[in-house]
Amino acid sequence: NPYILATLLFGLGLGTTITFASSHWLLAWMGLEINTLAIIPLMAQHHHPRAVEATTKYFLTQATAAAMLLFASTTNAWLTGQWDIQQMSHPFPLTLITLALALKIGLAPMHTWLPEVLQGLDLTTGLVLSTWQKLAPFALLLQIQNVNPTILVTLGLASTLVGGWGGLNQTQLRKVLAYSSIAHLGWMILILQYSPSLTLLALLTYFVMTFSTFLVFKLNKSTSINALAISWTKAPILTSLTPLVLLSLGGLPPLTGFMPKWLILQELAKQDLAPLATLAALSALLSLYFYLRISYAMTLTMSPNNLTGTTPWRFSSPQLTLPLAIATTTTISLL
């Protein structure tokens, strides 16, 4: 029903906006809660057992994270007597809130729900989950001051490594994208305390790249690497573009995805954190491997078992074409 869909999308926007605009922990929590409740019907809309399972998992993790956040902010009010987001001073609620937000966006080691949930959704809802749902928790993470740096660095490094190792083993594209998301979030958290503007830049480029990747997969109607291998008959031009989009996600120069990684490594080196920068760069190689594998399946091999006569050469999807064109161009040539 379009009216219900409009209401739910409005709720999604409203929840994020409330969290953006709040300086009081209760209001921020309320925004996050509205956000979660608005996306749950969108996730379960296909009534497929996997979709329902994914929705349940998502609901439980988000409810746990929201409860942790509420508990931490109440504890902070109890200990220091104020609710202001930017005035956090006590280490205990600070740590708890950081962990709650990490659980909300799926940072390692609280990441295990993300690949499972994303695998159960269709590509459009998966795109919303991978991009829009990260905004509100990130707004809060950017606002809380003086977090213990060790926590953020541990979360960031663990996420880049888990995002690299986890994706190697996957044949399902949505799980690969979930691990890719974990790795990218790790890079953002790594630099959060030294340069928040770089975190925002990385978040923005990640959004653009993920948007174009999801749209490409949606246009090809492919959810596994095997399906991509026969997609060159469906859209030959798109198939030649896709590896560039994927390598941009992996962070290869001269594509857009290289820019945030470059600047983050530079900033880490400036902060005398050369070992950390080295580890992060090496973990990016792991991610690069599975993007390369998908590119290889798409463009460097010809599938033996599909008859060209039976596959659709052209299929028109006018509502996808313009966003796809804009997103892929941005992903490939913004550096």
pLDDT in tens, 61-116: 999 999 999 999 999 999 999 999 999 999 999 999 999 999 999 999 999 999 99
Q: Are 196 and 142 in contact (CB under 8 A)?
A: yes
What does the pLDDT look like over 242-300, one tens digit per residue? 999 999 999 999 999 999 999 999 999 999 999 999 999 999 999 999 999 999 988 88
* Tokens linked to 3: 């009216």
CB atoms within 10 A of CB 79: 12
Query: Percentage of residues in the chain with pLDDT exceeding 90?
Result: 84
Inter-CA distances, 111 with 122, 137, 259, 292, Å:
20, 15, 25, 23
139-145 average pLDDT score: 93
The whole-number pLDDT of residue 226 equals 87
Amino acid (one-letter) located at 7: T
What does the pLDDT look like over 293-331, one tens digit per residue? 999 988 887 766 655 555 555 555 777 889 999 999 999
34-56 average pLDDT score: 96
Mean pLDDT of the chain, nearest integer = 93
**Residue 42 clears pLDDT 90, i.e. is over it:** yes
* Tokens linked to 181: 């998301």
